[in-house]
Amino acid sequence: MQPGRYDVVIVGSGPGGGTMAWRLEQTGKRILLLERGDYLPRERLNWDSQAVFNDARYQTKEMWHDAEGRGFHPGLHYFVGGNSKVYGSALFRLRERDFGEIRHPDGVSPAWPVGYETFEPFYQMAEELFHVHGQRGEDPTEPPSRAPYAYPPVSHEPRIAQLFDDLKREGHHPFHLPVGVLLDERDGKALPHSPCIRCDAFDGYPCATNGKADAQIICVDPALAQHPNLELWTGAYVERLVTDARGGTVTGVQGVRAGEPFEVSGDVVVVACGALSSALLMLRSSSDAHPRGLANGSDLVGRNYMRHNNTTVLTISRTPNPTKFQKTLGLNDFYFGADDWDFPLGHIQMVGKSDGTQIEGEGLPEVLQWFPKAPFDWIARHSLDFWLTSEDLPRLENRVRYDRDGVVLDVTESNMEGHYRLRQKLVDLCDKMDIHPHLFDRKLFLGKNVPIGGTAHQAGTLRFGADPATSVLDLNCKAHEVDNLYVTDASFFPSIGAVNPTLTIIANALRVAEHIMGRLGVASVQAGADGHPDRAEPPTSLTIPGPSAA
């Protein structure tokens, strides 16, 4: 093979790109993985809340603008492993009903072009690959699965165990949160060899002990260590994809590395930069054959952006909460509705524990109004912290685009009534469970200038579907208009449900990898008569290695 030419070039090393690289390198084909960032430094500041949250040390310093021209820093992280380096590692399957049409007061969450049964075997693979700890049967909204979780649920610390019991006493169905973590524990304590040490710096922090199941630790590093046919280029910013004159095949991947231009090519090109950055790459790659942006004949590239309606809140327990590893409990009893509301409300889960530095940095006047004599550390010792998620609907006008000033992100909030009602449900629950019934927003956890800067759970900018007029990608996540171009981040989502999207990204990358392997002559994956990808069992020969300890 000529220099600079590969069987597969993958752009982006997060959950979509890293998982794809891990799966395809086992084929023996020559794979190049391009990452615009470097490895996130392992340093004491990984666990420093001032550095991580207040100073946004690891967040990009890029300046984007909203539709009114106001500048903000998007909540993006450019490292090997992508945004998974600082994600909360809650790894959910979408609910089975999320794959169908769901009505909300502000509109319809559209059905997916394939059903849950297409994803189920790959969800199982993804859970095993990313060391998801959980317990089947506790969550009434849980979709069908073929096997138990491979890893036991992360145990609750005493105050969270009390909350679990209090919720059950009130007739609710709390469950152990499915968490991707490299944890071996006994009696609530991490064993000496466990990478995760059950510390208070897990959710939202980089992990200095490599205990978080992120794309670097689970996929990229093990693949590089075990298979010399995979190359990783860090510091490689891809500027554009070029095609042949007809525009039907990507012939070059052009970018800059260490200040020098480069161009490589691949029989297959996979884009997995994250839903926002992947759409921007397509828009930068316009040409005579694709004047509105690569694969943008539908004018949908960058549109239908979704990011969930997310809120992180702090509550005050009347008794101290000395919990360190707090991210162990979830509640979906209001996911599809409530006795007083016929529409979905959403999902509640615990998040990482607040500390005094975070609370002071948040500048929460509401907290001081209710507890004027309480120092920040006292508030932190009594805090219980929750993440509330409601579905955000895809809208054509919600989009990422370029103008002469750079990147513009247009966001109009939708479907907020259900989110406000979900918040009130949590207030009502707190009043019954020895918790002050007041919720205080933790905006730094999601990124400043929420919702515009809070780009957690980004999805939908390159939706997939059977019809090229209403979608950018086909059912195998190949661009309708470009023969060898695939996308495997959350861009492909037609709707987003109300649970964390990362497991679906991973499962889809494994699903699309099987198709690409067939294309490369490594495996045969046939489409059925209805055009849907093969729904057969995942390959039984798949070997899941242990994560890197590097």
Q: Model confidence at 452, in pLDDT bands (50, 70, 90)?
A: low
User: Looking at residue 534, what is its pLDDT?
Assistant: 40
Choose among 394, 395, 401, 452: nearest CA to 281: 401
CA distances 406 to 9, 107, 403, Å, are: 27, 31, 5
Lowest-pLDDT choice from 50-54, 55-59, 228-232 = 50-54
> Which pLDDT score is estimated for 461?
98
Q: Nearest to residue 520, comparing CAs of 5, 24, 9?
A: 24
Read off the pLDDT of residues 374-388 as tens digits, 9 standing for 90 and up.
567 778 888 999 999
**What digits encode the pLDDT tens for the residues 137-193?**
999 999 999 999 999 999 999 999 999 999 999 999 999 999 999 999 999 999 999
Q: According to DSSP H, which parts of 310-375 are helical?
A: 356-362, 365-370
What is the rounded distance in angstroms from the CA atom of residue 457 to the CA atom of residue 443? 15
What are 116-153's pLDDT values in tens digits?
A: 999 999 999 999 999 999 999 999 999 999 999 999 99
Whether the per-residue pLDDT at 113 is higher than 60: the answer is: yes
Cβ partners under 8 Å of residue 407, min gap 6: 62, 64, 65, 280, 400, 401
Identify the CA nearest to 312 among candidates 453, 202, 447, 155: 447
In the predicted model, is pLDDT for residue 531 greater than 50? Answer: no
Contact residues for 449 (Cβ-Cβ < 8 A; gap 6+): 72, 73
Comparing 191-195, 433-437, 534-538, which segment has the lowest mean pLDDT? 534-538
Mean of all residue pLDDT scores within the chain: 91
Confidence of residue 444 (pLDDT cuts 50, 70, 90): low
- What is the mean pLDDT of the segment spanning 30-37? 98
Helix H or strand E segment including 24? helix 15-25
SS3 for 250?
strand
Query: What pLDDT score does 281 carry?
Result: 98
Residue 59 is encoded by which pair of tokens?
Answer: 């967040």
pTM of the model: 0.93
